[in-house]
């Protein structure tokens, strides 16, 4: 994923050196992107670092750390810190542009992660029942069901079930 700063600088260069129509379109795109990220061109060239706070929802710290490491390298992971008593707030000293980069990348992946996790959890219960054969032992009369399992859902359920343990329940007292 191209860093926002690099993209903005490329667009700026095109706005300065491009042909008349191309330069005009680049200038318009640059203005639009700067406005979207609440930046000025001065912010792009400003390399001073300020303390930035990131609210990281419970259960998503790994995603945040991976995004941070992806952008800045794993050697800079140790630059992230938090204050005692602030559970979901993490801090790092970053430039304006680096801050926009990490916020943008984390927001994207947080939304995608939440969506994917919800989809997996939706099928987890069915996968568990399927894996451990938790169905009634009585014969089922043939009847039409109002709900139908879509084939792609069944494939997802089957794949989740394959990842579950094979531990089986053993009855303590056998029926004679």
Residue 164 domain-assigned? no
Q: List Cα–Cα distances, 124 to 7, 44, 63, 128, in angstroms.
A: 40, 45, 21, 6
| Residue 65 located in a structural domain | no
Does any domain span residue 62? no
Is 160 a member of any domain?
no
pLDDT tens string, the chain, 176 residues long: the values are: 457 777 877 887 777 677 778 878 888 888 888 888 777 766 666 678 889 999 999 999 999 999 999 999 988 988 999 999 998 999 999 987 788 889 989 999 999 999 999 988 888 888 888 888 887 777 766 655 545 556 777 788 888 888 888 887 776 776 65
Question: Is residue 28 assigned to a domain?
Answer: yes
**Any domain includes 42:** yes
Written as one string, the DSSP assignment of 70-101 is HHH-GGGGGG-B--TT-TTEEEEEE-HHHHHH
Residue 67 lies in a domain: no
Nearest-CA neighbor of 4 among 52, 36, 51? 36
Per the structure, the complete domain to which residue 17 belongs is given by: 1-46
Give the predicted TM-score (pTM) of the model: 0.62
Do the domain assignments include residue 111?
A: no
Domains in the chain: how many in total? 1
């Amino acid at each position: 994923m191209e860093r926002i700063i690099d993209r903005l600088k490329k667009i700026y260069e095109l706005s300065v050196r491009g042909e008349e129509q191309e330069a005009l379109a680049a200038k318009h795109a640059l203005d639009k992107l700067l406005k979207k990220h609440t930046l000025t061109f001065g912010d792009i060239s400003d390399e001073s670092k300020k303390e930035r706070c990131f609210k990281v929802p419970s259960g998503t710290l790994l995603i945040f750390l991976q995004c941070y490491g992806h952008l800045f390298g794993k050697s800079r992971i140790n630059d992230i810190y938090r204050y005692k008593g602030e559970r979901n707030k993490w801090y790092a000293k970053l430039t304006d542009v680096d801050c926009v980069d990490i916020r943008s990348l984390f927001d994207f992946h947080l939304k995608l992660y939440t969506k994917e996790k919800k989809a997996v959890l939706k099928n987890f219960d069915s996968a568990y029942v399927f894996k451990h054969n938790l169905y009634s032992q009585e014969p089922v009369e043939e009847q039409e069901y109002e709900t139908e399992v879509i084939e792609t859902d069944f494939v997802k359920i089957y794949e989740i079930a394959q990842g579950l343990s094979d531990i089986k329940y053993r009855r303590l007292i056998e029926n004679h």
